[in-house]
Chain A
Amino acid sequence: MKTRAAGLAVPGTQAQPVRLAWVLQRDGVLGYLLVLPAVILLVGLVAYPFVTALAFSLSDAVVGRAGRFIGLGNFRSLLLTDDIFRQTVWNSFVFTATAVALKTVLGLGLALLLARTLRFRRLIRGAVLLPWVIPTALSTLGWLWMFDSLYSVINWTLLRLGLVGQPLQWLGTPSLAMSAVITVNVWRGLPFFAITLLAGLVAINPELYEAAGADGAGVWARFRYVTLPLLRPVLAVVVLFSTILTFADFNIVYVLTRGGPVNSTHLFATLAHQVGLQAGKIGEGSAIALFMFPALAVIVYFQLHYARREV
């Protein structure tokens, strides 16, 4: 009471609470106010960096120097004269297509297994999530040791089983290095597919399976005509998210190969990091990173279009 009295004694503060209450009571205003923090975050963490990167990509800036406006010079030069970049484009599509395809097939298989009534079901489902939960840099360091030229446990096993005559150079041979980074990406992304598809599977009404069974449908027919069509919207969203995340992957390649051998595993993000931050050519590095944008925009458009049609 005393506080209120003291507050009233100060000129100019009397009307403030009334005005604030009036403002807050208006749904239109309050709505915008509540959305404001999210908008600030989006502008600060997404829009501002994006516009800055766009500005950099149109200049010949190097770290610490503003540079000159060169229009699309970086993009043109990368496409026409830089074969490391062209190789990176190829690597990115091979990496993304293979990893997402494997994650889809294996993830669906794992989800179907997890959907069955198993003993220790909760424990198993929890354990499946581990690769997704462990920080990528940390788990990839574990894989680095498994692929190490000297101490590879995979090579040790293959040699002991007599499957290879000499150690495989997992990170030293271009094709094997690409296989290695894809393997780690699949290992890490599989739980996301499995658990999300599992949620889709348990949402399917069991009566549909019973009805299909009554009509004489076997296991394959039930999967083909009941499970798959009803899972398709979830599948589309999962594939969309995974495609975006896989396409923009950085950690796995950075830790395992640093883009080598001979740039055979560079992805857009790792090449952009190498050129823009390590070598300091931030204009060119930004242009490399932005090359992802149209590709991802096209993927997002088609996936969302497809998902909306299905839903």
Chain B
Amino acid sequence: MSQTIAARLSRRQFLGRASAGTAGLAGILAARVPPAVAQKRELTMLGWSHFVPESDTRLKQLVDRFTKETNIAVRSDHIPHAQLAAKQAAELQTGAGHDLVMFYNEQAWRYREHLIDLDDLVGELNKKYGTDIYPFVKEAFFINGHWKILESIWPAFPGNYLQSKFQQVGEGPPDTWADLLRAGKKLKKIGHPVGIAISHCFDANSTFWAVCWSFGARVVEADGKTVTLSSPKMVEVIEYYKELYATAMEPEVLSWDDSGNNRSLNAGKSAWIHNPVSPYAVAVARKLPIADDINHHSTPAGPAGRFFAPTVRGYGIWKFSKNAEPAKDLLRFLYREDNFREWIQAGNGFNHPMWRHWESHPVWSTDPKLKLLPAEGIYGRMRGWPAPPSEVFGVIDDLYILPDMVAKAVGGMPTRDAIAWATDQVKRAMEGARS
């Protein structure tokens, strides 16, 4: 076939047509407008691969429904959550990428001038769902008087435990970190240790903040500038970790990624983990027998109170997006009461919205093992608290400075040396960061 075409074209004709084609392509590139025949509205959306896969499946179904209603095609991409930060950075640096992008925690502060305001959209939704919003969500996504991200998920971070193992050692669900240590020592002896990640993963950061605050320790003072890692309270935190690691955990926690503790609980090995309810949600969805044994209790308290650091997630729209309005329409559609209810349900207790209005959703009342979750919101704090929200705490988390401090200490480094190392690293992380 190609021979036939070649035979029909003289060299001059070929050059003429090729140059016409090149000129046409150059015109399209210069105008940045595709020819009419290729014009079809398409939205692109980037999110994480949810730890409860059914949530992503339902999101896909909702997005397909949006396409049917509006004739706007939507491509929803999902990548492992640990890769989101690098992908966002690449999109921003090149000025090209998805219209809607998932952001979490302090990222709205990092990218605030590159995200469009969503005040109108949040205003509309507040009329429906009220203005009673969890404070940590507002601190994360409401910046200098403007909503930059529309929250979709903040997962509670309770204790996940195997009831049979705790009964076996004569313990109930631990109310405090001290209770956990006591029970953990017995649990390890029967081959079912406690599992708290001390590694390069999100969970390791989240649990550290919870333990740190519960013992009354701080990383940065309320002024947002003074590094207060080096304190007697922090020594208590590290000493607690050291004892827990030596007597109630196994070295595997030093290698875990964010799925490590989930798998360990669902395999029936770890008797206790600090995590959102995804192991249970997955066990129920896949009809694993371990689901009957898993239960949850409030995140443990310490001498200074009960705290945890939720990973707050939501969607934002880049300023370079050429589809900002259709992207907002998609969010309007997803947060429409009927659709939003379905989406929350699919998370099986994982997907907490920012409005307390949704605490009455049946997903948390029909299953007694999930009933405690909405009330956990009162213990949530933004990373870095009591310092005001700042991109620096995202950097501290992204560099895993705090879990590394613990890992150094449990690995044999003297506690004060480990804290001094982390203090230097936190100061380095703060250089150039904006509050």
> B-contacting residues of A (Cβ < 8 Å)?
3-4, 7, 17, 20, 60, 62-64, 67, 77, 81-84, 149-150, 167, 169-174, 177, 257-263, 273-282
Contact = CB atoms under 8 A, between A and B. Distances in A.
Nearest to A174: B411
Contact of B86 (A83, A257, A260, A277): A277
Contact of B110 (A17, A64, A82, A276): A64
B407 A262 contact: yes
Contacts of B201: 258
A82 B254 contact: no
B89 A277 contact: yes
Closest 3 CB pairs of A and B: A172-B255, A149-B252, A172-B254
B260 A7 contact: no
Interface string B195-206: 000011100000
A81 B255 contact: no
A63 B93 CA distance: 7
Contact of A261 (B93, B255, B260, B263): B255
Given A7-B16, A64-B114, A261-B199, A149 B399 contact: no
B255 A279 contact: no
B110 A63 contact: yes
B169 interface: no
A274 B398 contact: yes
B111 interface: yes
27 contacts: A3-B13, A7-B16, A60-B432, A63-B89, A63-B92, A64-B114, A82-B428, A83-B424, A150-B260, A169-B250, A169-B252, A170-B255, A172-B199, A172-B251, A172-B252, A173-B251, A257-B200, A257-B255, A258-B200, A260-B400, A261-B200, A262-B408, A262-B411, A278-B86, A278-B398, A280-B394, A282-B93
Interface string B402-415: 00100110010000
Contact of B432 (A4, A62, A64): A62
Interface in B109-160: 110-111, 113-114
Interface string B236-267: 00000000000000111111110010011001
B369 interface: no
Nearest to B257: A258
Q: Per DSSP, are chain A's interface residues mostly helix, strand or loop, or mixed?
A: loop
B254 A278 contact: no
Contact of A260 (B200, B250, B267): B200
B15 interface: yes
| Most central of B86, B255, B429 by chain A CB within 10 Å | B255
Nearest to B270: A150
B86 A171 contact: no
Contacts of B425: 84
B375 interface: no
Nearest to B263: A150
A58 to B, nearest CB: 14
B90 interface: yes
A200 to B, nearest CB: 40
A260 B86 CA distance: 18
B40 interface: no
Given A260-B200, A281-B395, A169 B404 contact: no
Contacts of A258: 82, 199-201, 257
Contacts of A259: 200
B79 interface: no
A279 B398 CA distance: 5
Contacts of A60: 431-432
Given A262-B404, A280-B110, A169 B398 contact: no
B398 to A, nearest CB: 4
Contacts of B85: 277-280
A77 B428 CA distance: 9
A281 B253 CA distance: 28
A278 B425 CA distance: 16
B251 A4 contact: no
A257 B255 CA distance: 7
Contact of A81 (B90, B253, B269, B428): B428
Contacts of B41: none
Contacts of A279: 85, 394-395, 398-399, 429
A67 B432 CA distance: 9
B287 interface: no
A277 B90 contact: yes
A259 B267 CA distance: 26
Contacts of B250: 169
B89 A282 contact: yes
B89 A280 contact: yes
Contacts of B86: 273, 277-278
Nearest to A52: B93
A280 B431 CA distance: 12
A250 to B, nearest CB: 11
Given A60-B432, A63-B110, A274 B407 contact: no
Given A63-B89, A277-B89, A149 B394 contact: no
A60 B429 CA distance: 12
Contacts of A260: 199-200, 254-255, 400, 404, 407
Contact of B421 (A3, A83, A149, A177): A83
A274 B257 contact: no
A169 B395 contact: no
Contacts of A177: 255
